Amino acid sequence: MQVPSLPGYNGAGDFDLSQTTKTLKFQRGFESERSSFEELAPKLRERYDEVFVAVHRGEVVDSDADFQALVGRFFERYGDAPVYFGYVGQRKPILQVSSPSVQP
């Protein structure tokens, strides 16, 4: 029987709680930034219409019509900090993005 991959699980029945804690912290940070985006959304169209934005620490820190360029710049500047990337506008683009992994 194959055990599913769990954050912090080493496959031998032990958990690395520091890794699990990092994963949970990252998830909480992501949810916080997503909530900030949703709160900011009604005001964003005036300045950021039809572009992607990066929300970090509760505010928009960068924007670009090119999603990959925005993501690259964000992680270059802020490292693996919690972030939410959202689209401001009417159309709903379809994106496939690999999520970053948290390394011990």
Q: Where are the alpha helices (DSSP H) in the chain?
A: 17-48, 67-78
The backbone torsions φ and ψ at residue 88, rounded to the nearest 5 degrees and listed phi first, read -110, 115
Pick the residue with more confidence: 3 or 98?
98
pTM of the model: 0.68
Q: What is the pLDDT of residues 17-46, one digit of tens each?
A: 666 677 777 788 889 999 999 999 989 999
Q: What is the pLDDT of residues 34-82, one digit of tens each?
A: 999 999 998 999 999 999 999 999 999 999 999 999 999 999 999 989 9
* Count of Cβ atoms closer than 10 Å to residue 63 Cβ: 14
